[in-house]
Amino acid sequence: MELKQAVGIKAAEYIKDGMIVGLGTGSTAYYFVEEIGRRMKEEGLQIVGVTTSNRTQQQAEGLGIPLKSVDDVERIDVTVDGADEISDDFQGIKGGGGAHLYEKIVADASERVIWIVDESKMVTKLGAFPLPVEVVKYGSKQVFKRLEEKGYHPVFRTQEDQTLYLTDEGNYIIDLHLGVIENPVAMGAELDQMVGVVEHGLFLNRVHTVLIGTSDGVITKEANR
């Protein structure tokens, strides 16, 4: 069993009857959603899911998982999602799959957030993974120019056919190739204040539990939020 599958299955053990569950997006979260579907079919588990992308919605519907919009629930008991990088102090970069806006909305409505990753995603400092910045179409080149002037090495994300990537909300993504982010809090605050930016992929002080798939099994780390 590959590491992503093992950690996805482990995360499903946190899910109990009656929970409202945030269903993450990405290659690791995929296995978590699959295991939830299996438990519902074979064990009679009863939950309601809140999805973080159109892709996850389609997967969940195919598995027969009942769904509600984030706007139709008072709270989410637990959200399980992947991450592209997690630093030693439990800060994260997400959005490699372009779903970070929805993922952040769902995370902020959750009482508990669990990230599931393989050991390659654990880093000392964030930044080797490009930081996604979601921007509205109008004025996107102006935002790009400002990011370029700051030395953030921006690149518009494209699809396989080289057309500009579109998020589920119909926005563009500019990936920042930073190398190392020395102060993620300051970087996040700067991007939050930039006109035209919808959301960025820095997930700061948002995770409670990290499950890490290793060759020796799944390791659990608590962020003590």
Question: In the chain, what are the domain boundaries?
Answer: 3-122+204-215, 131-199
Report the CATH architecture of 131-199: 2-Layer Sandwich (3.30)
What mean pLDDT is predicted for residues 116-120?
95
Please, which pLDDT band fits residue 1 given cuts at 50, 70 and 90?
low
- Candidates 114, 127, 77, 125; CA nearest to 218 is 114
Please tell me the predicted confidence (pLDDT) of residue 225.
59
Which residue, chain included where needed, has tokens 């409505």?
109
Active site residues: 103
Domain 3-122+204-215, CATH among 3.40.190.10, 3.20.20.70, 3.40.50.1360, 3.30.465.10: 3.40.50.1360
- What does the alpha-carbon distance between residue 197 and residue 44 come to, in Å, rounded to a whole number? 43
Tens digit of each residue's pLDDT (9 = 90 or more) over 126-168: 999 999 999 999 999 999 999 999 999 999 999 999 999 999 9
pTM of this structure? 0.95
The C-alpha atoms of residue 222 and residue 128 are separated, in whole angstroms, by 23
Alpha carbons 180 and 188: distance in angstroms, whole number: 14
Burial of residue 35 (CB within 10 Å: 0-12, 13-18, 19+) is: buried
Q: What is the pLDDT of residues 166-186, one digit of tens each?
A: 999 999 999 999 999 999 999
Q: Closest Cα to residue 196, out of 129, 117, 136, 118?
A: 136
**pLDDT band for position 79 (cuts 50, 70, 90):** very high
pLDDT in tens, 38-63: 999 999 999 999 999 999 999 999 99
